[in-house]
Structure 1
Amino acid sequence: MTSQYDYESLGADTFQQLCQALLAKVHTETQCFPVGMPDGGRDASVPTRLVSDSIVYQVKFRKPTPNKLASADDICSWLERQIFGEMSKIARLASKGAIKYVVMTNAQCSSHSEAGTRDRMQTWLDENLPIQSQIWWRDDIDRRLDGQTDIKRTFGLLRDASGLAEMLGIVTPSMDLHEVVRLARTDRRVAA
């Protein structure tokens, strides 16, 4: 089951913790840095045998744009400013052996070849960062989160009948909402 999740309701700090939880699920050796503290450009990192910060993850939370959808130019400009503010830290991490820098963001991307936010930002990263870099956009995080019921439950992202059905392990998409609620009332995992 695929969804788009309401990251904005989490706020910046909790969104960072959600991203860290996803990383820790995939890479058990992930080191997660405390929220709201100076982190040297790292919200999480994956070490290798020789380098403690081999793959570095930085979370960038975009607040919703009031009364309008953000344009591709708005999103690219915002993200360039965010990353530009980390440039000296990225250079220092690269000099210490970091081989990859990944930005995780709740910002929506567009996939238009060469003109969309995904391709435009990848070109900008390739031209401006000293190491291999990538952005995990909202859609990238959504797909990594889809199969992680425990993480979605922890962060309050199972909010509707389909979320309740997922938590209960009901995979019948045609099941009636009343049937889901009836089953939930008999399941000890669901609070009364």
Structure 2
Amino acid sequence: VGPTSRRLTSLGEGDLIMIRGPFGRGFTLMGEKPLLVAGGTGVAPIKPLVEEMLSRGLKPTLILGARTKDRLLFLNRLRRLLGSKLHIATDDGSLGFSGPASKYAVRLLDEGCFDAVYACGPEAMMAALYRAAERRGLPIQVSLERYMKCAIGLCGSCAIGPYRVCRDGPVFNGEMLRRVLDEFGRRRLDPSGRSTPLEE
């Protein structure tokens, strides 16, 4: 725990703090019938996107993925919102499709008539979705996660190619991803700044 975390945890009710931001870019709406894929905690930014899409009369389909059924977040809320447009994928097969959400997404892309793809979750999953969307000529947006020290674009710890996730992202479109294919889904900077392979 660093000095900032220690200071924040020592604050009491009514104490004032200063917040800078938000920085970076979020999702932008595209398409009428988008496919959204959320893996694990990647559902956190996808859930409000689903709500916004529904409020605008769009018809999103969501694949909610996790390692096991016990790790599916916001499941009941998303069921109420999406009904039959919610699909489940668990790596262990404990609920819904048995296997990675990206594999299920490829199947739905082949069967459905989607006009855009959105994703947040493990980077290997998002890289597979990027390739699937590119093959089909579909626009895609993914929300990346990188180790961030300063979170204001100065330190470069969150760099991917010419971009800084904290300022240029976290949401990247297909055009931006094409510029970082040597890193996206393959490598990232660790806390020391060394390029390391991504864990599967």
Same fold (TM over 0.5): no
* TM-score, normalised by the number of residues in structure 1: 0.34
Q: Which has the larger helix fraction? A: 1
Structure showing greater radius of gyration is: 1
Q: Which has the larger strand fraction? A: 2
